[in-house]
Amino acid sequence: MWRCRGLRKLTGRCVNHKAWRRTSSNAHERALQYKVGEKIHGFTINQVTPVPELFLTAVKLSHDKTGASYLHLAREDKNNLFSVQFRTTPMDSTGVPHVLEHTVLCGSQKYPCRDPFFKMLNRSLSTFMNAFTASDYTMYPFSTQNPKDFQNLLSVYLDATFFPCLRELDFWQEGWRLEHENPADPQSPLIFKGVVFNEMKGVFTDNERIFSEHLRNRLLPDHTYSVISGGDPLCIPDLTWEQLKQFHATHYHPSNARFFTYGNFQLENHLKQIDEEALSKFQKIDPNTTVPAQKPWEKPREYQITCGPDSLATEASKQTTVSVSFLLPGITDTFEAFTLSLLSSLLISGPNSPFYKALIESGLGTDFSPNVGYNGYTKEAYFSVGLQGIAEKDIQTVKNIIDRTIDEVIEKGFEDDLIEALLHKIEIQMKHQSSSFGFTLTVYIASCWNHDGDPVELLKLENQMAQFRQCLKENPKFLQEKVEQYFKNNQHKLTLSMKPDDKYYEKQTQMETEKLKQMVNSLSPKDKERIYEKGLELRAQQSKAQDASCLPTLKVSDIEPTIPFTEVDVALAADEVPVQYCAQPTNGMVYFRAFSNLNSLPEELKPYVPLFCSVLTKMGCGILNYREQAQQIELKTGGMTVSPYVITDDSHLDTYEQGVLFSSLCLDRNLPDMMHLWSEIFNNPCFEEEEHFKVLVKMSAQELSNGIPDSGHLYASLRASRTLTPTGDLQETFNGMDQVRLMKRIAEMTDVKPVLRKLPRIKKHLLNCDNMRCSVNATPQQMPQAEKVVENFIKSVGRSKKERKPVRSHVVEKPVHNGSSGNTHVNESQVMRKLITEPTFKPCQMKTHFLLPFPVNYVAECVRTVPYTNPDHASLKILARLMTTKFLHTEIREKGGAYGGGAKLSHSGIFTLYSYRDPNSVETLQTFGKAFDWAKSGKFTQQDIDEAKLSVFSGVDAPVAPSDKGLDSFLYGLSDEMKQAHREQLFAVSHDKLISVSNKYLGIGKSTHGLAILGPENAKIAKDPSWIVR
């Protein structure tokens, strides 16, 4: 996977614990007993540092023989993580580090089978497995909760990165190749194929990516940042197999590596394995991969580039983007980087920031330019600010506003409350516990460490905050002086503008065709014969049954047979609203949620619910205007969000709950303030600020439009499932292409008053206690206060003056299940969810092609099957995984060249086949048909089924953060007993059951199918009247 921004990374080396150390209570305390200078399995401990604010101990080591750097973060977290990163500094845009990242995962000395990486996804209980290419490093991370699994994955990752096969056919498949359109027909034309080639064609359909890439290339033109590390589709065909192997030899060496481990597993075991299986086989070298400092400019520079038109942009005449960027100091100066990152947030974050007021509220554009703010992903950081969605004539105006705003900030500085709100946000980030904290940390430190900065200093956030406060105290103009130094008086300043060219994609295709023509014309008859033979050889290899027995694996018996039950208490607040309390180790944080159903909302208002949700907390409430409200939310909470939700019933596909989820979090000391804000939002929301509403609408419409290239498969899946269940239509209304187009229409309106008038009408149906339930996750000590504060909130919220009847007449009531060990202060029958049922619903087939000017497709086919509690649901879930790994991966990615593809079963009973950044469309739909036939034929072994179970269980048993425990019960009405029953159904899936469900649901005429494609014009579809083209 290519990351156009770098990640930040950690160096992790672990240390040897003597047996007595293991009696210590937790991992970070045990690690404090390591001694500097201690030698363990070929490593020497260089530093042992407690980082109490993150509840961890950092242990820095180096490998004696190779000089490899290692950082271990010992923390009492069972979701353990490993990563190794290499500094990769390409000097051309052939995408060599990206193609290499793909190819090393295709087989190694110890594991020579094809594609061990994808095969390990099904032989492991990993919670995360991936690889990333950034602009100047490549990272290989995985995480798991199982010690044996950690050893297995570590062995595969070490062998892949240090001893890969790098076979020519794998390079052809993953990178690029010339191949006949039909590999079996030597008369068919030769074309470019390859996974990375198609991935990068897809990446550059995203105008934000085009802009961001050019910005970095031109601001840092002296070395590796001047090229595209992921690969330019027009340059990728210049890469040779020999160059790939050479790049590996020079960059993938322990002396150029940084190892990182995190969690509570014994560290000596990691060190021993890493030394024995990899590092002991190398000698120290000078990798010579250092990135030199960028030479500062003597005067500012300007560039203009072009991109493809955005058919979903709000105004065709306003699709220009402009930004002004400044080169900043190196990222290894930890405190300066911390200061500039904070300064960036003060300048651009939220409606109180100077650039938001000056640019966003100017009405000139739709949103900030891409890559806005502080970017610490390159050796020297940079700051960028500008606007997208402007008219070309306004470029100079935007530049003038930026210059003027910088002058104003130098003169006036920042309000104390803005600075406090920002430091409060950092305090919350330190206390909030995510289920993937190890991965967050490895990404956070990657870039700094990559350039030999100190990753441990980066983690000591309390020191940095204290130093920052001290600097402000000693010099109240501290930040103003930074603005003057780095923005006002900085000659290394780039103005980049980008405008759409109607012929952009046409020109790209023309250049690709020209390159192809040149390459084909230079081929001798012998070359052509070899290409044909290699194409057949690759196809034969892709089609051959694979022996993966060399790979390590867990067994189904390694999966925990039962789930840990989550204790929840349910009480009625103010005698009518059920509140679920879940006591968890939340580290001084309180998490509040409320769910309110939409049953009484008139149908014509439903399309506007997502807009209502997105603006509700941003337009002011009570006596607070929108700026004051934003300030209070920043000062007192970790965020307040509102989202529409559609939840299919667990036992009936035509029954569902529709509503809105309100979520927020805060430090326990701020709970009364946070709940007071919710009271004001519920009782007195402001919907009067027309100009600010227009700003919010334009930003939202722009964001939706920009998100399509990255999420095209999700939009295709939503559309394909639209007519299969009652929830499908609602999901499409709330989250699909219908919503994208509605927001585009609203953003284009000159008079938004008719839309604004709908918001108070929605409020009447939604912001009351009539059909509400709440949940609180906090520590046991916080619960008494939480109960009082939530009770007060509920008492303050209004009731409907008259009973509002549901719009749909069929309402069924279902009790909320509380988990077996919950103490329920109320009769469970009183805690009811009101669901809509549509007994007369008739699913129907629909085929939709959304025309988008992309050179790749996103394809989806959906099938209506059965709900969660039906035993067949478990079989279909395993089948989806089987189809992905044993059929679709080979056909869609390896043979078809798409970046991704597979099958999945949703909780709502929709079985989906999809492809992502796919050069094919109709052919992929034919492959889906063959996948159904393959499933019905039963050509899979017990080993295949067991591997699919491991893969499914790694998702089912993914770690859940303390903030999210009990959510399944609260939102979906799923008790622990129901989840345990489903677990047992998954264990019980057999070969016979898989063939049975394949025949029962996936055959032609068995269930209703829906199809959708997002992508370029297609002659076959255009001629087929069964398709709706939009």
Active site residues: 101
Q: Which two tokens stand for residue 449?
A: 């460490």
Q: Output the DSSP codes for 484-528.
A: IIIIIT-S-EEEEEEEE-TTHHHHHHHHHHHHHHHHHHT--HHHH
Determine the distance from the C-alpha atom of residue 407 to the mean position of all C-alpha atoms in its chain, rounded to a whole number.
Answer: 37
Question: What's the rounded Cα separation, in Å, for the pair 835 and 812?
Answer: 5
Percentage helix, strand, coil for the chain under 3-state DSSP, each rounded to 5: 45, 20, 35
Question: What's the rounded Cα separation, in Å, for the pair 632 and 424?
Answer: 11
Question: What's the rounded Cα separation, in Å, for the pair 646 and 764?
Answer: 20
Q: Which has the closest alpha carbon to 658: 833, 788, 470, 793?
A: 833
The residue behind tokens 């398709």 is 1027
Q: Which two tokens stand for residue 846?
A: 């629909």
| Vertex 699 angle, CA 693 and 702, to 5° | 140
Strand-pair partners of 8: 444
Identity (one letter) of the amino acid at 732?
Answer: E
Strand-pair partners of 40: 43
Helix (H), strand (E) at residue 244:
helix 241-251
Determine the distance from the C-alpha atom of residue 292 to the mean position of all C-alpha atoms in its chain, rounded to a whole number.
Answer: 32
Q: Which has the closest alpha carbon to 339: 215, 461, 491?
A: 461
Q: Which has the closest alpha carbon to 266: 478, 14, 463?
A: 14
Three-class SS of residue 201? helix
Identity (one letter) of the amino acid at 199?
Answer: E
Buried b (16+ CB within 10 A) or exposed e, 657-672: bbbbbbbbbbbbebbe
- CB neighbour list of residue 473: distance below 8 Å, 6 or more residues apart: none
Question: What's the rounded Cα separation, in Å, for the pair 557 and 316?
Answer: 59
Three-class SS of residue 807? coil
Alpha helices, DSSP H, located in 721-776 = 726-735, 737-748, 753-756, 758-766
Say if CB 125 and CB 554 are below 8 A apart.
Answer: yes
Q: Which two tokens stand for residue 451?
A: 């350039």
The dihedral through the CA atoms of 572, 574, 577, 579 has a sign that is negative
Phi-psi region of 727 (alpha: psi -120 to 50; beta: other; left: phi over 0): alpha
Question: What's the rounded Cα separation, in Å, for the pair 144 and 263?
Answer: 10
Say if CB 962 and CB 584 are below 8 A apart.
Answer: yes
CA dihedral 147, 152, 158, 159 (to 10 degrees): 170
Three-class SS of residue 377? coil
Say if CB 139 and CB 161 are below 8 A apart.
Answer: no
